[in-house]
Chains A and B, each alone.
Chain A
Amino acid sequence: MATNPSTYSPSQSSERKQLQQQRRRLFQETDWTRFDGRGFQQCRPAFLKTGAASAASGSAFAAFGATKVIVSVFGPRESKKAMLYSSTGRLNCNVSYTAFSTSIRGQSSDHKEYSSMLHKALEGAIILETFPKTTVDVFALVVESGGGDLPVIITCASLALADAGIMMYDLVSSVSVSCFGRNIVIDPTSEEEACQDGNLMITCMPARNEVTQVTLTGEWSTAKINEAMELCLDACSKLAEIMRSCLKEAASAPS
């Protein structure tokens, strides 16, 4: 037996792959309940809470099924010394993962792609003119990754911004869908994402009916895209309702 230079997780990767292939086949049939018992057009139960971290100006915790995210907002505070003068405020975003967030340990640390996507998704919603010369920092930590991470991060971040009292045109909510052959499945888990044909994520401000970000990857037909977008936008506005009631609850509760 060769000595392994590093450690490995004892779960069976080969069996997992088989399972995935099985899933893939099953997904192509029309009548199929998902592995967590949801219907195709059913989102995971969402839990949202604001104000968990006292060190931050505002914070929010979001748990969508197995995906758990914490976002803290700092500022508006002095911009870095090296920054040039700016008459509008700046937004600085960072997304990182915990070492235990994924099933394979140690894929943690900063996630540059998500950081920049989070920035772009929020930028349009924040009234940057209200805090000239200063910076608002939005830091997200993915505690557990269970699929649909980016939409959860964006949703949670906009809630944290609201908790911090940063002026926004509207709350930003985000939902993704996966495409499997003939089927469209909303709010996919990481198992589903691993075998999807395509993915669509929409970030929008439901009250203003404005979209801040759309990403589309993989194989799609035009008709499907329309259907998926309708589905996402509908889910976004429902999610925004939950966010609003969460904020109302926090505001009315005695601190």
Chain B
Amino acid sequence: MAAASTAGGSGGGGGGAGGFGAGDMEVEAYRRLFPLPFYERYLQNYVRPDARPLHRARDTSVALGPIASAHGSSSVKIGDTTMLAAVKLEVMTPSAEAPDEGSLAIEFHMPPICSPTVRPGRPADVAPVISKQLSDVITSSGMIDLKELSLISGKAAWTAYLDIYCLNSDGSLFDAALLSAIAAFSHLQIPLVSLNDDGRVIAVSGEQLENNSTIELVNKEKRKLSFQSIPFSLTCVLHNKYILADPTAEEESIMETFITVVLDSMGRLVSFYKPGGSVLVHSSTIKDCISLTKQRMEELQNILEDSTSAMEE
């Protein structure tokens, strides 16, 4: 049996002296057999087995443009959780109700490579839930003005297909997925298009423009999306009085109550999600979670800016 342990950190160190029943049992075995007591001994000292303080998120990195064939793409790592997001634009005829608006289609995938619990043919239960949450947050936050995706009013508009793949699942999937979605949209470069004789929209390359100045472009200016406000999220796991920010998969499986807060860059609350769980929450805890999300938002804004400037260099 060589099942992989989910946490990246070392099993050593730990609670230190004495304790109950542990004796000379190996730390790794104790962790597996009694996960909750194992964690509680850490939590008493306000530290986690991966050496993080309770409120600190894992190291986060964002890279833009890993998928050359997409119009916008990003890969995001939060600790060991890895996401890959890509936006592809296609042309559609806008609906009669909103003739000058484009549309978004967001899908979150958990392929079998991401976790030992996902088997081919049986998609993970959480994948459609996260999919729905993502589209709700992205549409309701008003981050993307759908009018910017319009090409010719009533005739043609962009549909942005955003596909997010979880490549390695180690907790806080929603946070990583949302960050990768934002990064992919910020990397999105809308292609130049013109109309052909049949009224279909066709792509125009730079070369063609130089050779043929008669091509009439439909979208000369609208090449990048301007964000009204950007949503950022933080998931916390609750256990007794402890709040653990950015949980790993192990922490999520042991402590079952979690809260996801989404704030936008103006500090407004976009979404608050606490799907049941054994811990009932006081309003002070909610306030704590929101202020933790505010701190995390500043971190994430810096990380996003760094990735954009790294791309431009």
Contact = CB atoms under 8 A, between A and B. Distances in A.
Given A55-B170, A139-B111, A141-B111, A8 B91 contact: yes
Interface in B177-194: 191, 193
Interface centre among B8, B68, B69, B199 (most CB of A within 10 A): B69
Interface residues of B, number: 50
Interface in B1-53: 1-4, 6, 8
A215 interface: no
A74 interface: yes
A4 B86 CA distance: 24
Interface in B155-178: 155, 159, 161, 163, 165, 167-170
A99 B168 contact: no
Nearest to A12: B202
Interface centre among B6, B111, B167, B201 (most CB of A within 10 A): B111
B293 interface: no
Given A10-B203, A76-B2, A100 B90 contact: no
B88 interface: yes
B135 interface: no
Interface in A56-108: 56-57, 59, 66, 70-72, 74, 76-77, 94, 96, 98-100, 103, 105-106
B88 A55 contact: no
A103 B200 CA distance: 18
A106 B73 CA distance: 16
Contacts of B84: 98, 143
Contacts of A12: 202-203
Given A1-B155, A1-B199, A96-B111, A54 B8 contact: yes
A8 B90 contact: yes
A143 B67 contact: yes
Contacts of B119: 137
B91 A56 contact: no
Contacts of B92: 4, 6-7
Nearest to A134: B1
A103 B69 contact: yes
Contacts of A9: 88, 90-91
Contact of A56 (B113, B202, B203, B249): B113
B80 A54 contact: yes
B201 A165 contact: no
B169 A57 contact: no
A54 B69 contact: no
B114 A96 contact: no
A155 to B, nearest CB: 16
B260 interface: no
Contacts of B69: 66, 100, 103, 144
A19 interface: no
Interface in A179-225: none
Contacts of B88: 9, 100, 105
Nearest to B116: A74
B61 interface: no
Interface string B90-118: 11110000000000000101011111100
Contact of B163 (A10, A54, A98, A141): A98
B121 interface: yes
A18 interface: no
B233 interface: no
A54 B168 contact: yes
A139 B120 contact: yes
Contacts of A6: 92
Contacts of B200: 8
Interface of A: 1, 3-4, 6-12, 52-57, 59, 66, 70-72, 74, 76-77, 94, 96, 98-100, 103, 105-106, 110, 137, 139-141, 143-144, 165
Given A9-B91, A53-B114, A100-B73, 6 more contacts: A6-B92, A8-B200, A55-B115, A59-B113, A76-B2, A99-B163
Interface of B: 1-4, 6, 8, 67-70, 73, 80, 82, 84, 86, 88-93, 107, 109, 111-116, 119-121, 155, 159, 161, 163, 165, 167-170, 191, 193, 198-203, 249
29 contacts: A4-B93, A7-B92, A9-B88, A9-B91, A12-B203, A53-B113, A54-B8, A54-B80, A55-B4, A55-B168, A55-B169, A56-B113, A66-B68, A72-B113, A74-B116, A77-B3, A98-B111, A98-B165, A99-B109, A100-B73, A100-B86, A105-B88, A105-B161, A110-B120, A140-B113, A141-B111, A143-B67, A143-B84, A165-B2
